[in-house]
Chains A and B, each alone.
Chain A
């Protein structure tokens, strides 16, 4: 696991280039997919092709092998990296090749074929400009699509000038590209073997798709007489027609280009003649197209992943990098921290856990906060946060349980095998909150003493720079129990879910919600209810989260049966009910709660849409406001409802568009991640301090976001529901 020092150093050295490039890719993605009329249909098609292909993988591999062999090529299915490398070394040796040129391939990085060939004395040259920069610099990729994304133009110029000592020092991107093109161009035409990856391979014709922009993959194949394609076994799809959705989605989802310059659809052996580039007499067409083709398909743990119900989805991944670029933490630290041996970004947890093992996944898995911003960005709809949660759970269970004396009644969880103490503390935050309210204000005074903060820092890794939540003596449930409904002839009836923070900490927003709903003719009850399980789920404590889910659905079930709608203030809890519970409770229980739950503004929006009037609410005339929606709320498409209601009530609303505030539940409290959390938060701060925004009051939907904004700005933020209460 990266320490605070390591993360700080990475943010200092690589953070600026990473942030600039990933954010450019990410905003490019939003623009590019917005132009695509049938974006959602294409994603569904892509998903379904991958689901079917992985289900039918053994048959497809047989069919592909037959097809390639009938075409005149060779297929080798390698069990692991060594097996694959030995085969490739034999091919290169048999060709008596002095030089191998490579186009970019993550799978070849995975098996470290360069090292294997170099040990045999072969000159291996990366021809993708980014990969070549890293080869010259002897550094590892920091991004699965743009491997040198962490390097600025200046640092590349410095590297080239130092290494190659050109006549005129290189400076501009144009000059650097020219230089690399010429240097690599000479090496490509002088190579015997070309190694490429393959983005997709069709079983029907043996056609491989290579998605590139520089033209180096085309040259790598065209200029050599021996072509070795290296790909994971999961890359096979049934037909050429199946390539369609992927061709439309991969560039848009990754770097935000509608399509990359070249999509090579190669059905080897290709007809392009193998020429001697020094020949000045023979016309091109008189050379023979005498070319060997080897497809090396790599298992290396993938077939076991296929049998693992939680990791299987990883195999649908098309390595587009959308999950990296849309990830707030990745935007700050890049793949050198948020990545394992080969892969980086959110999906890397699945890849590295399956290929390398839990110990490698553990090194970076905690950097996924479960914000879900990658979920809609993923062109094949992989539930990346869930994979991260499951792997975190497995990592927890791999560890020895902390001593019972340490947890001392604060952790009544279901984790038999024991998560680390810090995770158990945050995972059981409900117990802390209950105790906090019961003993407030003393609990607040005590918690804030230096001694207590030092102990929390030392034992639990809670960063002393964070303010702690202040518990209210009277909870929302207490308040609601002691008052009568204000609605005589209700339009609708609702149960307001007393989420942990609203109940114990931000009680005012709960009272505001009750009042707003009542003004709109809704009869509201606020019964005691268990916390949603969001806290333990985010710590990878799936059994505990499941226990919460079961108890919550048992508590709310009778209210739903009694025709009450479930209204939820905290977006991360609403997302539990409508998204994550699908994984935790049975199908009927899930659909009952999911279909009847509403985020509070979604509910107000619905009431207004069905004829309720804003007259009974507190309205303004054009007052300016800045609104930061919540990551999980945005994933569920519920940002617009808050904006619409605020506008109906007379507000002029400007919204932030950062992917996450950086706090993400307990993440920003942890000493190791405090600075990263603030770095992510800085992007939100910048937006909220922009011209035309800096004087606006700030409202935010999420508890974490409110705490983070409170730490970032002098302006104290509020939940938007508080604006509406009279």
Chain B
């Protein structure tokens, strides 16, 4: 797992995505350090600290209004899976609008638990295959910030975020 995680972080580095790691207990501090206000977010599920993590302790506006979302600089969501050899994040689409929060902002902060980092694309697709067949859900495999080369040179930050930061949550308190 240590190898998978370091491969994941090396891939993120190549994509220009910054990474920090934190113990579960210090997650709030890690989030605060990663965001630029105004920030909006989606509460994290129990995978991260054993119970739902509301982000209430942070300056993040959780479950914002659409106007707040549009005015926000940072959007904080969890990532369901990581993909080691690509540095990809698998983002789900919840009814709490995680898709909007990760997309309609300049800066996306994704929080991932280290045990959810898959070694490669093959393993990640196998997991998605299983899950989609069970639940009929959707996902985005997001790799680095949005980008375009349509304006005569590569530009990071097209319709989606211009920068992405990943917080890896380590096992144990």
Contact = CB atoms under 8 A, between A and B. Distances in A.
Partners in one complex: yes
Interface in B34-93: 63-70, 86, 88, 93
Given A207-B138, A262-B140, A146 B149 contact: yes
B41 to A, nearest CB: 11
Interface stretch (A282-290, A314-322, A415-423, A506-514): A282-290
B152 A153 contact: yes
A257 to B, nearest CB: 9
B30 interface: no
A172 B151 CA distance: 8
A570 to B, nearest CB: 40
B126 A272 contact: no
A100 interface: no
B147 interface: yes
Contact of A219 (B98, B103, B121, B145): B103
B66 A279 contact: yes
A261 B66 contact: no
Given A71-B136, A127-B159, A240-B133, A265 B128 contact: yes
Given A270-B138, A284-B69, A176 B159 contact: no
B13 interface: no
A133 B150 contact: yes
A284 B100 contact: yes
B160 A261 contact: yes
Contacts of A279: 65-67
A283 B65 contact: yes
A271 B95 contact: yes
Interface residues of B, number: 54
A219 B149 contact: no
A658 interface: no
B143 A185 contact: no
B66 A280 contact: yes
Contacts of A271: 93-95, 137-138
A243 B137 contact: no
B140 A264 contact: yes
Contacts of A276: 66
B80 to A, nearest CB: 12
Contacts of A241: 125-126, 129
A216 B129 CA distance: 25
A722 interface: no
Contacts of B96: 284-285
A259 interface: yes
Interface in A250-275: 255, 258-268, 270-273, 275
Interface string B130-172: 0011001111111111111111111101111100000000000
Contacts of B10: none
A726 to B, nearest CB: 52
B19 interface: no
B99 interface: yes
B64 A207 contact: no
A270 B99 CA distance: 10
Contacts of A280: 65-68
A311 interface: no
B139 A285 contact: no
B97 A243 contact: no
A278 B137 CA distance: 28
A617 interface: no
Contacts of A177: 148, 150-151, 155, 157-158
Contacts of B70: 189, 277
B122 interface: yes
B147 A153 contact: no
Contacts of A262: 140-143, 146, 160
A148 interface: yes
A181 B106 CA distance: 12
A154 B146 contact: no
A619 interface: no
Contacts of A263: 140-141, 143
Given A258-B86, A279-B65, A146 B150 contact: yes
A57 interface: no
A245 to B, nearest CB: 9
Contacts of B103: 215, 218-219, 222
Given A240-B128, A276-B66, A153 B95 contact: no
A219 B101 CA distance: 11
B142 A261 contact: yes
Contacts of A129: 148, 150-151, 158
Given A207-B132, A243-B125, A173 B155 contact: yes
A154 B150 contact: no
- Considering residues A151, A204, A218, which has the most beta carbons from chain B within 10 angstroms of its beta carbon? A218
B88 to A, nearest CB: 7
Contacts of B122: 244
Given A205-B136, A214-B147, A259 B95 contact: no
A51 interface: no
B6 to A, nearest CB: 17
A272 B150 contact: no
B121 A213 contact: no
Contacts of A266: 138
A272 B139 CA distance: 11
A153 B136 contact: no
Contacts of B142: 261-262
A46 to B, nearest CB: 13
A180 interface: yes
A188 B65 CA distance: 18
Interface string A192-233: 000000000010111100000111101100100000000000
Contacts of A156: 151-152
B155 A259 contact: no
A275 B67 CA distance: 10
Contacts of B86: 258-259
A451 to B, nearest CB: 51
A267 B137 contact: yes
A173 B152 contact: yes
A284 B66 contact: yes
Contact of B132 (A174, A205, A255, A287): A205
Contacts of A268: 138
A427 B27 CA distance: 73
A266 B147 CA distance: 20
A550 B86 CA distance: 50
A275 B66 contact: yes
B65 A261 contact: no
A214 B158 contact: yes
Given A222-B103, A244-B121, A284-B100, 11 more contacts: A153-B152, A177-B151, A181-B157, A214-B147, A218-B103, A271-B94, A272-B94, A272-B95, A276-B66, A280-B67, A285-B96
21 contacts: A130-B150, A154-B152, A185-B159, A207-B132, A218-B160, A219-B103, A240-B129, A240-B132, A261-B160, A262-B160, A263-B140, A264-B140, A265-B139, A270-B99, A271-B94, A277-B66, A279-B65, A280-B65, A284-B63, A284-B101, A285-B63
Interface of B: 63-70, 86, 88, 93-101, 103-104, 121-122, 125-126, 128-129, 132-133, 136-155, 157-161
